[in-house]
């Protein structure tokens, strides 16, 4: 099975190298970095590691980067694409858990949920995530325990069907919507979240969260 | 009386702008007509305020000017909504362009 790891990266020169190294060490050599218009050395770091690098000429946001990565995975005709955050918050061992249900043919999309076992996640993060889940459910009608997770697996079928249109953080909920609309089989598996000051600073602040929420509502009205 | 003068001056200014924009082919004929009608209504209301009073009574609002404010607010919100949608579409179109540039040499990179 051809597996690719898609890593969206925006100004992640500090952590990207380590993330790519640990992925290689874990046996994942087919890596694709989407450099989302970074202004730091992200491009150079990625190129130095000899992975596929796709460069956005300008910053488009997480949704834009994920959309490009998944589109590329589709064009490369991979069997499974895994999205993996560049900030170092995911553990490489968890990829296996995300792959398994797809490899066994039991699921089309797998979400690595940080909240099935939320140990170590600060309480305010848990609360934010809960609000995110609730809004995703209210707007798109599918309950997941971690709608905002960055570690996900997509089967070939899912890659063919899921269409990403949004540009920013609301993409997480859009993916859930696409799962529902396309009647894909979803599975959640518990994963560990590695919270460092760095990865925390990279997540959604309350302000961004409120903006995302507004966008989601508008998104619902638009489509 | 002063309000009529101020409104007339402003309407003349605004109308001249939109006519200029039309002459420079920056706006469509539809937009030109739309704005001329809007500014015409504004002038009409300034000179014959009892017109809106009658409208107010029809809607069950006591003062004419209140009706103007209510409708103004609704129109503004609608325009903001339209502008938002337009910007969102533009953003998505930009992403499509950025994406196609990023994916251009994908086969060579593998």
Contact list in A for residue B92 (CB cut-off 8 A) is 165-167
How would you label B67-82 residue by residue, b for 16+ Cβ within 10 Å and e otherwise?
Answer: bbeeeeeeeeeeeeee
Q: What is the DSSP string of B46-87?
A: HH-THHHHHHHHHHT-S-HHHHHHHHHHHHHHHHHHHHHHHH
B88, B101, B106 member nearest A75 (Cβ): B106
pLDDT tens sequence for chain A (223 residues): 899 999 999 999 999 999 999 999 999 999 999 999 999 999 999 999 999 999 999 999 999 999 999 999 999 999 999 999 999 889 999 999 999 999 999 999 999 998 887 776 778 778 888 888 888 888 888 888 888 889 999 999 999 999 998 888 888 888 998 999 999 999 999 998 887 776 666 666 667 777 777 777 877 776 5
Interface confidence (ipTM) of the complex? 0.84
Cross-chain residue pair B103–A53, CB shorter than 8 Å? no
Contact list in A for residue B85 (CB cut-off 8 A) is 218, 222
Please give the average per-residue pLDDT across B14-39, as a whole number.
93
Q: What is the pLDDT of residue A201?
A: 66
Report the alpha-carbon distance of residue A123 to residue A131 in Å, rounded: 12
Q: What is the pLDDT of residue A202?
A: 63
Report the alpha-carbon distance of residue B21 to residue B38 in Å, rounded: 16
- Residue identified by tokens 């589709």 is A74
Residue B103 has pLDDT above 90, yes or no: yes
Cross-chain residue pair A167–B101, CB shorter than 8 Å? no
Domain boundaries, chain A: 3-222
Report the alpha-carbon distance of residue A113 to residue A151 in Å, rounded: 8
Q: pLDDT digits over B43-68, tens only?
A: 988 888 888 888 888 888 888 888 88
Cross-chain residue pair A75–B103, CB shorter than 8 Å? yes
Q: What is the pLDDT of residue A190?
A: 92
Q: What is the pLDDT of residue A199?
A: 64
| CATH architecture group of domain A3-222 | Alpha-Beta Complex (3.90)
Q: How large a percentage of chain B has pLDDT more than 90?
A: 57
Cross-chain residue pair B98–A67, CB shorter than 8 Å? no
Report the alpha-carbon distance of residue A75 to residue A64 in Å, rounded: 17
Distance from CA of B45 to the nearest CA of A (A): 35
Q: What is the pLDDT of residue B80?
A: 93
Report the sign of the C-alpha dihedral through residues A155, A160, A162, A166, in that order.
Answer: positive
A38 and A87 Cβ atoms separated by less than 8 Å? no
Domain boundaries, chain B: 1-47, 65-110
């Amino acid at each position: 099975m051809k597996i690719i790891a898609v890593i969206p990266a925006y100004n992640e020169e500090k952590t990207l190298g380590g993330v790519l190294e640990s992925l290689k060490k874990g046996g994942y050599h087919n890596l694709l970095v989407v450099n989302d218009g970074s202004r730091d050395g992200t491009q150079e770091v990625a190129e130095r590691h000899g992975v596929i690098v796709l460069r956005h000429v300008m910053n488009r946001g997480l949704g834009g980067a994920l959309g490009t990565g998944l589109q590329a995975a589709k064009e490369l005709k991979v069997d499974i694409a895994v999205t993996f955050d560049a900030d170092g918050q995911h553990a490489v061992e968890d990829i296996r858990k995300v792959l398994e249900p797809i490899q066994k043919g039991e699921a089309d999309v797998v979400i690595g949920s940080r909240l099935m076992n939320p140990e170590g996640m600060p309480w305010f993060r848990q609360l934010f995530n809960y609000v995110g889940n609730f809004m995703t459910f209210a707007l798109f009608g599918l309950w997941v325990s971690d709608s905002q997770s960055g570690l996900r697996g997509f089967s070939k079928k899912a890659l063919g069907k899921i269409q990403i249109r949004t540009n920013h953080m609301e993409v997480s909920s859009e993916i859930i919507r696409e799962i529902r609309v396309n009647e894909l089989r979803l599975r959640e598996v518990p994963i560990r979240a590695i919270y460092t000051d760095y990865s925390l600073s990279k997540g959604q602040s309350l302000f961004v969260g409120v903006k995302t929420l507004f966008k989601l509502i508008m998104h619902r009205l638009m489509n | 009386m002063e309000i009529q003068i101020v409104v007339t001056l402003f309407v003349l200014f605004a109308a001249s702008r939109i006519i200029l924009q039309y002459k420079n082919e920056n706006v469509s004929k539809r937009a030109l007509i739309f704005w001329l009608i809007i500014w015409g209504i504004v002038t009409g209301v300034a000179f014959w305020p009892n017109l809106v009073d009658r409208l107010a009574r029809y809607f069950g609002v006591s003062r004419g000017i209140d009706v103007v404010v209510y409708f103004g607010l609704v129109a503004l919100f609608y325009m903001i909504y339209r502008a938002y949608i337009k910007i969102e579409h533009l953003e998505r179109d930009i992403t499509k362009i950025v994406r196609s540039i990023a994916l251009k040499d994908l086969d060579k990179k593998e």
